[in-house]
Amino acid sequence: MHSVYPAAPTGTPAVCEAPPTHGRVRCVPTLLIVHHTPSPNCQALLEAVVAGATTPEIEGVRVVRRAALSATASDVLEADGYVLGTPANLGYMSGALKHFFDQIYYPCLDETRGRPFGYYVHGGNDVTGAVRAVEAVTTGLGWRRAADAVAVTGEPAKADTQACWELGATIAAGLMPGV
C-alpha cells in the first residue's frame, strides 16, 4: 500500500509504506531520474548517475528511473527530488524531455516548488541551448538546483562519467533522512 504524506520540515512528499506484518508506517524519500537516452553516450551518463544515486553510502532513498516519454505527473508528485538527462538536439533539449515537461508542468507547478534537482546534457558539439531550456523550465517550476549541471560534448571522458556519478550521489544524499 503506497500513499504520499508530507515530510517535515520541507513539505515534500515521501512514499510511505505500511509493511504487511508491522503496524508502523515507514516513509522513504524518492529520487526520480527522468531521462531520454537514445545513444550509447547518453546511456553511459545515465548509468553513472544511477550508480551514484544507488551507491551503498546512500541509505533510505528509493531511486526510480523513468524514460522521459513514460514519466507522469504522478511520478513527479510522488518524488522528493529529480535528476533529468537529455541529449542536445538542434540546440535544444530533446523532444522527449520537452514532452515530459509539457505533461507535468501545470499538474505539478504548485506542489513541487522548492524541490531539489540536477541534470546532465550531452551533445555532439554544443549544449548551450539545451542547458538554457532546462534551466528555463525548471526555474518556471520553482525547482531548486541542488548540484551543478553536467554538460558533456563528444564522447564522455572518465571525468564526465565521474561528474554524473557525483550528480546522482549528491541529489540522492540530499534526500537521505536526517540530512
**Domain count for the chain:** 1
- Pairing outcome for strands 30-35 and 62-67: parallel
Segment 11-41, tens digit of pLDDT: 445 555 544 444 544 589 999 999 999 999 9
**Residue 128 belongs to domain with CATH number:** 3.40.50.360
How confident is the model over 62-68, as a mean pLDDT? 98
Cell of 152: 558533456
- Does position 2 have pLDDT exceeding 50, yes or no? no
Q: How far apart are CA 57 and CA 80, in angstroms?
A: 19
Q: Are 115 and 143 in contact (CB under 8 A)?
A: yes
Report the pLDDT value the prediction gives residue 44, as an integer from 0 to 100: 98
Q: Are 40 and 33 in contact (CB under 8 A)?
A: no
Residue 40 lies in a domain: yes
Residue 167 lies in a domain: yes
Domain range enclosing 144: 29-175
Report the pLDDT value the prediction gives residue 17, as an integer from 0 to 100: 52
Report the pLDDT value the prediction gives residue 174, as an integer from 0 to 100: 98
Report the pLDDT value the prediction gives residue 13, as an integer from 0 to 100: 56
Residue with cell 549541471: 149
- Does position 9 have pLDDT exceeding 50, yes or no? no
Choice between 5 and 131, residue whose per-residue pLDDT is larger: 131
Angle, alpha carbons 70-75-81 (nearest 5°)? 120
Report the pLDDT value the prediction gives residue 3, as an integer from 0 to 100: 30
Residue 74 lies in a domain: yes
Residue 70 lies in a domain: yes
